[in-house]
Structure 1
Amino acid sequence: MSPLISICIPAYKNVLFLKRLLDSIAIQDFKAYEVAVCDDSPDGNVEALVMGYEGKFPALKYQHNQPPRGMPENWNAVIAMATGQWIKIMHDDDWFLTADALNKFASRTHTAADFIFSNYENNFMDPAGKIIRKGSMVFPKYRLQAIIREPLLLLADNKIGPPSVCMVRKAAGISYDKRLRWRVDIDYYKTVLSKRPAAELLEDILVGVGINENQVTNQTKNIPEVELPEAFILLQKYGTVSLKNWIIYDSWWRMFRNMHIDSYEKLQQFVPETWPPVIIRMLHFMQRTPQFFLKTGVTSKLCMLLSFMASKSRIQ
């Protein structure tokens, strides 16, 4: 009989943090689960650690990738190993905060939802892995239906959080887009919620999210060579109609402003493709705007709203 939940761990070298995650799984009072680990590490340290947990989990699977797949292909590979009805991705630097966390996820599997997520706690760590600061991340419940209707609102602020706080019904059949790194989680949420528009929020803080200097966020945020090609991919996949929402329009405005892309010519230097007219108009507006207006949050927001009102009726 297949388990209800597959805990899927894409691993890479991070033995210290992975042990914390595996220990947090071993104490779960809900037992209808399996653990699948897909390992991109160049050595056998992760395998040795994982094999030490045989007998501590109801079921354990391990796969070592040669050559390494990289993210997010390793995420898709570990999902392919799963036999459970639900997929619970857990990154190796995240963990369950309480022994009943998995049980609380399981308690919502009998609803109509195909997407379940919880509140979580950010844990900022020093290079040795010591937690130096914490912060609770609480999803604003009143925004749930708006985000289900238009998941690209998460471009402005990813209120759901990282994949480790989520669980998705396997029957949804959704994979992560291997072309993406920075926007990969938002793209995944958009795909899931567009195909299966039902979600459940667990208001308890159930997952600890480790934040350290080696994370992808620190290697991709506000880097034009990464963010702009991915932005173009999202426009290809989903079109521009979402920019009729001023919050989403503002997220694009802020992305360009933060990377100092204030003309179409600069954008073309990084992605020499034909961008949609709404993006070209936005950049032409920014180019005509005095720079000191763009550098201040209040005046930049006002300029964005003027640009938005001038473009909204022509967005298709």
Structure 2
Amino acid sequence: MESPLVSVCIPAYNNADTILETIQSVLTQTYQNLELIVVDDRSTDDTYQVVKTFAKQAGDDRLHLYQNEKNLGMAGNWNHCMELCKGDFIKLLCADDLIHETLLAREVEIMERYPEANLVQTDTRFVDMHGKTTGYYKRYHASGLVEGRKACRFSAFTRDYLGAPLANLIRRSAYEAWGGFDPSFVYIIDYDFFMRICCKGKIYILHEPLNSFRIRNDSNTSQVMNGDKKDVYLEEHKRLVERYAKELHLSRWQVNLSVMIRRLMSFLGGIYLKIFVR
């Protein structure tokens, strides 16, 4: 019996300096039955040409490169990537992310063992632009199969355990049932997407750091924690919590408390970036 097809999506925009390392971390997976979809959103650097040259040299027919006719923006490009997927399972990576060579094999094995899970999530390793480990990010504290709504509620009062696409593998059926990324969000577009899926059923938490997130000064994460986008980020967070307040049984004062906690976590995150990001 053939193993399930996994679609790995890399929406790219001006990532010529990092995208090949991301692509190679996918193509060297021990899990072989995958398709890698790279969609360039009309980059102003050499991203498209860099990937095109690599694809020609690599000769790996699992790699599919596309370029949008016009710039679609983050949500538009992320959704376009998802629309191109043919796999039973879907993982989205940013064009500077890295994944451990056994990640997909571990995630697929779990998804097949637990068909009731809409999503499987692993812990994250923080790395700098040279690949040096600067820290770890442990996801929701429980392990194994858990109620997604319970994890969402806990996340609302602590920190974002659900976002960061590289940490999650979802079922294609979940994406088809509950939709893609909401373009009304900018800085928590992934948090909204994965919270929507998690609220609908069970998820599986694997506490192993099998993916690596680059900490860099020009990323969205740095802008909201250590830049001038913090207020926009907090407004989006409030709108997000209000959207799911009914499903998570949150009162008005609990929504406001969630925003206060997120403001504090953003402040602490900014301190971390000042210390560890150069």
TM-score bucket of the superposed structures, by smaller chain = 0.7 to 0.9
11 and 133 in structure 1: CA distance in 2 versus 1, 3 angstrom threshold: same
Partner of 2:221: 217
Within a 5 Å distance, the mapping from 1:227-238 to structure 2 comes to: 227-231=233-237, 233-234=239-240, 237-238=243-244
Which of the residues 188, 194, 204 maps onto 1:189? 194
Within a 5 Å distance, the mapping from 1:1-316 to structure 2 comes to: 4-43=5-44, 45-51=46-52, 52-54=54-56, 55=58, 57-97=60-100, 99-110=101-112, 111-112=114-115, 113-123=117-127, 125=128, 129-131=129-131, 133-142=133-142, 145=146, 148-149=149-150, 151-155=152-156, 156-172=158-174, 173=176, 174-195=179-200, 197-221=201-225, 223=229, 225-231=231-237, 233-234=239-240, 237-239=243-245, 242-244=249-251, 249-255=256-262
- Aligned-residue offset at 1:153: 3.1
CA distance in 2, matches of 1:202, 1:176: 24
Matched positions, count: 254
3 and 228 in structure 1: CA distance in 2 versus 1, 3 angstrom threshold: same
TM score, norm. by length of structure 1:
0.70
CA distance in 2, matches of 1:256, 1:90: 26
236 and 252 in structure 1: CA distance in 2 versus 1, 3 angstrom threshold: closer
Secondary structure in 2 matching 1:67: coil
- Aligned-residue offset at 1:23: 1.4
CA distance in 1, matches of 2:73, 2:48: 17
- Aligned-residue offset at 1:133: 4.7
- Aligned-residue offset at 1:131: 4.1
- Gaps spanning 5+ residues in structure 1: where? 260-316
> CA contact under 8 A between 1:32 and 1:58: conserved in structure 2?
no
Secondary structure in 1 matching 2:199: helix
Q: After superposition, give the CA deviation of every residue in 1:186-223 in whole Å (9 maximum; x if it has no partner).
A: 2112210123x121122221111111011112223474
> CA contact under 8 A between 2:241 and 2:255: conserved in structure 1?
no
Mark the structure with the bigger radius of gyration. 1
> CA contact under 8 A between 1:3 and 1:83: conserved in structure 2?
no
- Aligned-residue offset at 1:16: 2.0
CA distance in 1, matches of 2:46, 2:69: 15
TM score, norm. by length of structure 2:
0.79
> CA contact under 8 A between 2:147 and 2:202: conserved in structure 1?
no
- Gaps spanning 5+ residues in structure 2: where? 267-278
Q: How well do the aligned residues superpose, as a CA RMSD in angstroms?
A: 3.1
Q: After superposition, give the CA deviation of every residue in 1:109-163 in whole Å (9 maximum; x if it has no partner).
A: 212212011112011x3xxx32455212223442773653351432331124511
CA distance in 1, matches of 2:184, 2:134: 32
> CA contact under 8 A between 1:72 and 1:177: conserved in structure 2?
yes
104 and 258 in structure 1: CA distance in 2 versus 1, 3 angstrom threshold: closer
Letter in 2 for 1:136: Y
Letter in 1 for 2:259: W
254 and 200 in structure 1: CA distance in 2 versus 1, 3 angstrom threshold: closer
> CA contact under 8 A between 1:6 and 1:82: conserved in structure 2?
yes
CA distance in 1, matches of 2:192, 2:98: 23
CA distance in 1, matches of 2:203, 2:92: 16
Secondary structure in 2 matching 1:72: helix
Q: After superposition, give the CA deviation of every residue in 1:73-104 in whole Å (9 maximum; x if it has no partner).
A: 2111111111111111011110113x222211
Letter in 2 for 1:25: V
Secondary structure in 1 matching 2:87: coil
Letter in 1 for 2:18: F
> CA contact under 8 A between 2:238 and 2:259: conserved in structure 1?
no
Letter in 2 for 1:72: A
Which structure has more relative contact order (CA 8 Å, sep 6+)? It is 2
206 and 132 in structure 1: CA distance in 2 versus 1, 3 angstrom threshold: closer
